[in-house]
Amino acid sequence: MIEFIKHPWAWYVAGPLIGLTVPALLIVGNKSFGISSSLRHLCAMCIPANIPFFKYDWKKEMWNLFFVFGIFLGGAIAVNLLGNPNPVEVNPKLATELTGYGITHYNNLVPEDIFNWHSLLTLKGFIFMIVGGFLVGFGTRYAGGCTSGHAIMGLSNLQLPSLIATICFMVGGFIMANFILPLILSL
């Protein structure tokens, strides 16, 4: 059984399992799936300031914090108990391209040459971690939710704003990966 869980699951198994969270949440208590809202709940819980955005009954949304904690816990268990001890396999063409940018070491699919504490003090690391983090947070707030909320929950509920947001996520990801990322990596 453990060996079955260790191998990647086909899209036709994993996709429907992810998709079934939508009706399950709706049936259980008319809940919406999304991850980014949990940060708002944490801030409302921990910062008792007089900020209107955080003045709501966050206790009604505690289920979302448990859900996110379950995702974190599941990821931790998967990495520590089910992780593959072999080095990460990167497509040879991608490895050759990344070597041209000075990226040669990978740790769990994360390029160690960029994502480490030392590179945070470089222009490239600052752009990736600080500017990128800000843009992800800003975009999530501006779009009214994250990719999981819009693409999984919003599309399944046939919400036009979620369709527009998901198309923008995909177009933005394509532009970033093919045009902007090579510019940043060449710094």
Q: Where are the domains of the chain?
A: 1-83, 114-187
pLDDT at 134: 94
| Token pair of 157 as six digits | 């509920």
Average pLDDT over residues 121-148: 90
Mean pLDDT check: name the lowest of 9-23, 81-95, 131-145, 170-184.
81-95
User: Which of these, 3, 183, 174, lies nearest to 84 by C-alpha position?
Assistant: 3
Average pLDDT over the chain reads 87
pLDDT at 101: 87
Q: What backbone phi and psi angles, to 5 degrees, belong to 35?
A: -105, -40
Of 174 and 109, the one with more pLDDT: 174
Q: What backbone phi and psi angles, to 5 degrees, belong to 90?
A: -115, 140
Average pLDDT over residues 134-153: 89
Q: Helix, strand, coil % (nearest 5) of the chain? A: 70, 0, 30
Type of residue at 29:
G
